[in-house]
Structure 1
Amino acid sequence: MNVETPPARGFIRSRGMRVPRHPGITTGRIRAALRAETFERKECEAVMRVVQKGDRVLELGGGIGYVSTLIATQRQARRLVCYEANPALIPHIRRMHAANGAERIELRNALLTPEGGAPLPFYLRKNILSSSLDGTVDPGAITGTVEVARQAIGPVLEEVRPEVLICDIEGGEAELLPAGDWSSLRAAVIELHPQWIGQSGVQAVFDAMHGAGLSYFPRASHGKVVTFRRGW
């Protein structure tokens, strides 16, 4: 099944990067935010503070490829592994990486979970950014279903040994992060979704990072984007 809309030609300039135009992605508010350089601003500012040249970085939730491209081009990470569950975003992410000479990023279309398991159905919608694992939300807008692989977090962390974690997984953080061994981390930038995970979920994320020896870093935290680092 073709899971993407054909891209439009041209690029939008943002933070020194070239973002490929796409009729189903770079529209309306997103286009305006890209041009104003306010798109993912809090996450980008935190990333620029904590990622260092030569870091091993694990990104959970690749989005449109914006943050991973920023890291690759402006922080020169030694290794950058990016997970994105939405298959409709993968072609756009690859185009963005290529357009900015960031082709060495390891992009994986899979969902990380505590235990792994069989593939899960992923529901595609006309609005690409609204595609999700939840088939009960706006079922009339679903245009198709594909299966997305599940991978257990443990083996991935053993393989990558990330020094920096970037995480924006739409509420999955409360279940996934406590299941991982994050002892290799020097820093983490996590977007919280308290509207979905509640106070207990937020506490679970903080406990997971504190358990790995990281402390909350307020200078690089902005609202729901929280940053942790080892030492002071």
Structure 2
Amino acid sequence: MDGETQKNDAFIMSRGMKFPRHPEIMQGKIRRMLRRGVYERKESEAALRVVRAGDVVVELGGGIGYMSTLVATKRKIESVHVFEANANLIPYMKQVHEVNGVTNAHVTNAILGPRKGKVDFYIREPMLGSSMEVLEGEVDPPSVKVDVLNAKTTFKDIGASVLICDIEGAEVDLIPSIDLTGLRAAIIETHPQWIGPEGIQKVFRAFMDAGLTYYHRGSEGKVVAFRNRW
């Protein structure tokens, strides 16, 4: 095996992006979806329709760094700012950015909310199953405290124009509590199985009150896109 082949074998390729192999993160299902180019497919297609050159993107829930790498490599954005509650994912995410030549991504181990503070974040295996919610049937799951940063101040300081959000049901409380009026567009994965129709209505109403309307070309299933009227 030559050196170039060995080098390529160190990565899983997806949509032209490199993802380093990792014994805990690159498990069967994720590995297969990456190789087939269907990992985060709906969110990816929405982002490619919505994100424009010069945008400042805020991503809530960065995961393995897929979406932040996608928007940074496929669109000439100004920057992408990722807020990820799971500290265990951040070294891998930064590695993904590095191997893909992304230099305008900023990663913070925190979540955004209406005010500063701390919240419990529940740690699970596999790593991507961690969340801020206690799942049905769980008893005293292991948790850590995660910083909450003021969303309004953060959005303003960053100059956010696009929001990408996948926070496993926490959108029902977060989205209505923050100032979305400065955004040009947003992409959110909703979780109706957890937040119900009333929760979905709350999320839609928050975006509409901020002057953003449903964008059908960027929406599919639980992934919903919004953009301003002008």
Q: TM-score, normalized by length of structure 2?
A: 0.90
Tell me whether 1:130 sits opposite 2:125 in the alignment: no
Is 1:51–1:71's contact at 8 Å kept on the other side of the alignment?
yes
Tell me whether 1:208 sits opposite 2:206 in the alignment: yes
The structural deviation recorded for 1:136 is 6.2
CA deviation vs aligned residue, 1:172-201 (integer Å, no higher than 9, x gap): 111111111111111111100011111111
* Residue aligning to 1:4: none
How far, CA to CA, are the matches of 2:191 and 2:208 in structure 1?
Answer: 19
The structural deviation recorded for 1:138 is 7.0
With 172-181 and 40-49 compared, the bigger mean Cα shift is at 172-181
* Residue aligning to 2:219: 221
* Residue aligning to 2:41: 41
Residue 74 to residue 205, structure 1, CA distance change in 2 (3 Å): same
How far, CA to CA, are the matches of 1:136 and 1:214 in structure 2?
Answer: 32
How far, CA to CA, are the matches of 1:110 and 1:131 in structure 2?
Answer: 14
AA of the residue aligned to 1:77? I
AA of the residue aligned to 2:144? V
Of 172, 175, 180, which residue of structure 2 is paired with 1:174? 172
Is 1:60–1:168's contact at 8 Å kept on the other side of the alignment?
yes
CA deviation vs aligned residue, 1:94-135 (integer Å, no higher than 9, x gap): 110001011320101102122221x23333334211223346
* Residue aligning to 1:190: 188
Q: When the two structures are aligned, how many residues end up with a matched partner?
A: 222
CA deviation vs aligned residue, 1:62-93 (integer Å, no higher than 9, x gap): 01100000011111210211111011111110
Identical amino acids, percent of aligned pairs = 48
Structure 2's unaligned 5+ residue stretches are: 1-8
Is 1:125–1:141's contact at 8 Å kept on the other side of the alignment?
no
Is 2:57–2:162's contact at 8 Å kept on the other side of the alignment?
yes
The structural deviation recorded for 1:154 is 1.7
Alignment partner of 2:123: what SS?
Answer: strand
How far, CA to CA, are the matches of 1:136 and 1:220 in structure 2?
Answer: 30
Is 2:207–2:213's contact at 8 Å kept on the other side of the alignment?
yes
CA deviation vs aligned residue, 1:5-29 (integer Å, no higher than 9, x gap): xxxx811000000011111111111
